[in-house]
Structure 1
C-alpha cells in the first residue's frame, strides 16, 4: 500500500491533467495552419452535433429563439457555455473550441482518486495517462469536439470513486459524492440513464451477495435510486438532501422497518416516473436493429442507425485499438482488471462500464469510450504487480519506460488523426449570406448532417438534423433531394407545411399519413404518382423554403437516396442507385481508367465495368469561367442509354450515374444548374455550395 500525502497526490493529478491537456492542443496547432477551418478569426468545431449546443448557447446569449425552431436553448452544455461567455473574456467560438480540452482532461482526477482509495496511486497515475488519450476517448474529446462527451466518462467515474470511497472510509460525504455525481451525470447526459441504472443494480447485487450486513451500502443504494429517478431535478436534489439530513442527524431512526419503507417509496417513485422506458428505447435502437422504422403504424421507413458509422459493428482489432491504442495494452488491461477485482471486490461495480464498452462489438464503436478508463486502470495495476512479483530493481524507472511504450500507439494516433472542421469557410460563407437573406421562420432543406450547422450559421429552421432523423423524417428530404425538381418541390412544400401544422395539431410527426388523409388518398402509390404532375396542388405557402446543396454532399448522395428508395408498405429496398465518383484517374491505351475499376472509352461513348460495356447517354463537361459562371458542354450520344457521364473540370472529378440520379434535384441544381423551367430560382451559386429558393 502506497501512503502518499495530499500534496503528492495533487502533483500526480496536475501532471496527468497537463499531459492530457497538452496532447489535445496538437489539433489546434495543426488546424490553425489552414484558413479553410477558420471563421470569425477562430477555428471551427469538428463535430456536427456541436452546432446544436452552439445554437442553444447563441440563442441564450441573445435571450430568445423562434417557436418550434428545435433550438437547444437551455440544455446543459448550452447553458454552461452561455455562463462561461458571460464571465470569461472569450467569444462563443473560442469557448466551443477549447472547452472539451479542459473538461475532458478531468478524467485523470477520479482515476487517481480511486487509486488513492486502493492504495495504488502510482499504478492509477499510469492509468490516467493511458485513459486520457486512448483513441476513442481522444477522438470524442479532442479540441474542437464540442459535445457532451467531454464529461460523459468523467462523471460516472466520480460516482464509482464515491462507491469505492464509501467501501473503505464509510463516511457520509461519500453518499453525496455518489448521488450528486449521478444526478449531475443524468442532467448533463440524459442517455446516461442506462449506465446509472446498471451501476446501481450491480452495486445492489454486490451488496446482497458480499456485504449484506453493511447498512451504509443500502443507504447508498437509496441515494443512487433517488439520483436516477425521472422526477424533476429539483425534486431529486431536495430528496437527496433530505435523506442525507435524516442519516446525518437522525440515524437512530433508521430501523429495518423504516429502511424497507424508504426503499418501497423510492422504488415506487422510480416506477411511477417511467424508470424502465429509457432503457428499452436504447436497447431497441442499438441492439434490436431492423430495416423498418415502424414507429409509423402504416409505413416502414429506413432505419437511420444502419447508416451511422459510430453505431456500426466493428472488428476485434479496431475494438482493442479504440480502447487501449494497441491490442497488447488492451489484453494486459483486461487481465489487470480481473486481478483488481480479486483483490478489491468492490471494483466489480465498474463492470457496467466494461460491459457497455464491449457492447461496441454489436452496437457500434461509439461505446468503446466507456471501457477506456477501466481497462487503463487494469493495465496500470498489472504493470506494477508484475514488476513487484519479479522483484525488479528500480521499479519506477522500468514502469516509466513501459508506460511510455504503451502510450506510443495513442500518441501516434493523435499525430495522424486530423479531422477537418464540419464545414469549410467557403460553405459557412454561403450559410452566412443565406442568413442575411432568409427570415428566421423560413426553412432550409438539406441532409441531416448539415442541419445543426445550418441553424447556427443561417438561423433558419430545418426539417432534419443530428437529433431528428428517424426514417419517417428523412424520407421526405431524401425524396426532395433525389427526385426531379417538380416532384421535389411538391414534397418539400408538403413536408414543411405539415411539419408546422404538426406543432399545433399534434399528429405525432406522421406527416405522410396526415397528408394522405387530408388529400383523400387511399393508396400511397396514387399519391406518389400525383405529386409528379403539374396539376398537383401543394399547400399554400406560409414561409419560404431554401435548398442548401453543398458539394461535399455528393460523397454521401447514394446514402441519402436509400431513405426514399424503398417500398413503404413492406420496407423492402429498391435496387441500389448507380452513382460513382472518381477523382483519381489516368489515361491508358483503352481509355481513362478510374480508381474504382471503371474505364471510360477515349471517345466517351461507353464505359467498361466488370468486363461489360455500357453505352453512355450523354457526356457533359462543366467549367466555371472567369466570372464564376458555370458553362456546360453537352454531347448527346445515345438517347436510349441509361448511363450519364459528367466531368466537373474545376473539381477534377468524374461522376457516372444512371438516369434516375441524373434527373435528381441535387444533380440538376447543384452539378448542372438546370433551374430554368423548374419551381426553383438561384439565390447563391458558389462552387462549394449552392442555395435555391422554392418559388411556390
Structure 2
C-alpha cells in the first residue's frame, strides 16, 4: 500500500539507479572491471546488494546502489578514454570513415526516436528536443575524433568528457525536470490549519493520514495519531477506520483511539486494539468493530479533549489506499473486501 516499499519492475529499478537502462548496463560492466583491477572495491558489494534489494524491498532501496554504480560508470569511461588515446588515426580518410559512421548512426537513432514517438502520440517539441540533443552530442564526439587525429589529446578528452556527461546525465535531468511533486499543503490549507491553532487546544487531536501528521502539528500545534515516523499498519488502522467507516463507528473509534493513545503514554500497551477489546470484554475483533456502529455502544473512557478530522479534497486520489488499512482481515491479513472509491471531474456545463 506504500509506493516506496512496493516491489518494482526491472526497468524502473535500472532507471532509478542509473537514469536509464543502457547507462545501468554500462555501469555494471564498469563495476565488474573495477573489481577485477582493484580487489579492494569488493568492499562496496554489500552496499550494491542493498541497492539491488529494491527489486523486492521497494523503491527506497535503490539509492544505496547509485554511488557504487556511478563509480563503475566512471571507471568504464576512464578505460574508454585510455583506449581511444592508443588508437592511431593515420590520415584524413580515417576521420572521414569515423565521421560517416557517426552520421549513419545519428540518422538511424533519429529515425528510431521518430517512430518511437509516433507510437506514443508525441508532441513535435519532443522530437525537436531529441533531435537538438543528438545533434549537439554528435558534434562533441566528432570534434573529439578530430582532435584525436591532430594528436591534441587534451582537447580530445574535453570534448569526449562533455559528450559522456551529456549521455549519462540527460535522462536524469529529464526525470528531475518532469518530477514536479506538489507541496504537502496548498496556501489555503495552510491558512485553514493556522486558524485551527486559534480554535484548538494543543492537547486536542487531528485524525488524518500519516502524510499530514508532522505539518499539521507545525501549523495547528495539535497532536496526531500517526505521522512520518509512526505509521506501522497497526498505527494506520485507526485513522483509516475513522476516515472510511460509517459516522457512528468512526466517531466511537476516534474517541477510543485518541484516549487509549493518551493512556499508552503512562501505561504502555503492546497493541491499542487488544487493550480496547480487553477493557470491553471482547475476544473477537470483528464483533468488537461491528459493535462500534450500534446505538447502545457506550464508551467507558471519559472524554479528555476534542478531536478534529482532516480530509482535504486532494486526498481523494489516495483514498482507496487509506481505506484499505482498515478493510483488511485482521485475522488473516488478506484484503477480502476491497474498498472501491472513484473520483470524477466536471468536463463541461450546459444550462
Paired residue for 2:289?
A: 528
Paired residue for 1:388?
A: 82
Distance, in Å, in 1 between the alignment partners of 2:346 and 2:43 is 52
Paired residue for 2:38?
A: 344
Question: How far apart are residue 584 of structure 1 and its match?
Answer: 7.0
- Give the direction of change, closer, same or farther, for the CA distance of 1:525–1:379 in structure 2 (3 Å limit): closer
Asked if structure 2 preserves the Cα contact closer than 8 Å seen for 1:338 and 1:378, the reply is yes
- Give the direction of change, closer, same or farther, for the CA distance of 1:369–1:427 in structure 2 (3 Å limit): same
Paired residue for 1:433?
A: 195
Q: Is 1:362 matched up with 2:37?
A: no
- Give the direction of change, closer, same or farther, for the CA distance of 1:582–1:387 in structure 2 (3 Å limit): same
**SS in structure 2 at match of 1:546:** strand
Distance, in Å, in 2 between the alignment partners of 1:529 and 1:380 is 61
Distance, in Å, in 1 between the alignment partners of 2:259 and 2:342 is 34
Paired residue for 2:257?
A: 495
Distance, in Å, in 2 between the alignment partners of 1:470 and 1:550 is 22
Paired residue for 1:451?
A: 213
Paired residue for 1:568?
A: 330
Distance, in Å, in 2 between the alignment partners of 1:566 and 1:481 is 15
Distance, in Å, in 2 between the alignment partners of 1:456 and 1:329 is 42
Gaps of 5+ in 1: 1-306, 588-696
Question: How far apart are residue 445 of structure 1 and its match?
Answer: 0.6
- Give the direction of change, closer, same or farther, for the CA distance of 1:331–1:571 in structure 2 (3 Å limit): closer
Distance, in Å, in 2 between the alignment partners of 1:407 and 1:567 is 46
Select the residue among 464, 481, 494 that pairs with 2:243: 481
Paired residue for 1:379?
A: 73
Distance, in Å, in 1 between the alignment partners of 2:342 and 2:22 is 40
TM-score by length of 1: 0.39
Cα-Cα RMSD: 1.9
1:325-365: CA deviation from partner (whole Å, max 9, x where unpaired): 12221111111111111111111111112111111111111
**SS in structure 1 at match of 2:7:** coil
Gaps of 5+ in 2: 88-147
Distance, in Å, in 1 between the alignment partners of 2:207 and 2:193 is 12
- Where do 1:600-615 residues align within 5 Å? none
Distance, in Å, in 2 between the alignment partners of 1:414 and 1:523 is 50
Distance, in Å, in 1 between the alignment partners of 2:199 and 2:210 is 22
TM-score by length of 2: 0.75
- Give the direction of change, closer, same or farther, for the CA distance of 1:440–1:403 in structure 2 (3 Å limit): same
Paired residue for 1:400?
A: 162
Q: Is 1:313 matched up with 2:7?
A: yes
Question: How far apart are residue 520 of structure 1 and its match?
Answer: 1.8
Distance, in Å, in 2 between the alignment partners of 1:375 and 1:570 is 40
Asked if structure 2 preserves the Cα contact closer than 8 Å seen for 1:384 and 1:399, the reply is no
Q: Which moved more, 1:512-521 or 1:442-451?
A: 512-521
Question: How far apart are residue 570 of structure 1 and its match?
Answer: 2.8
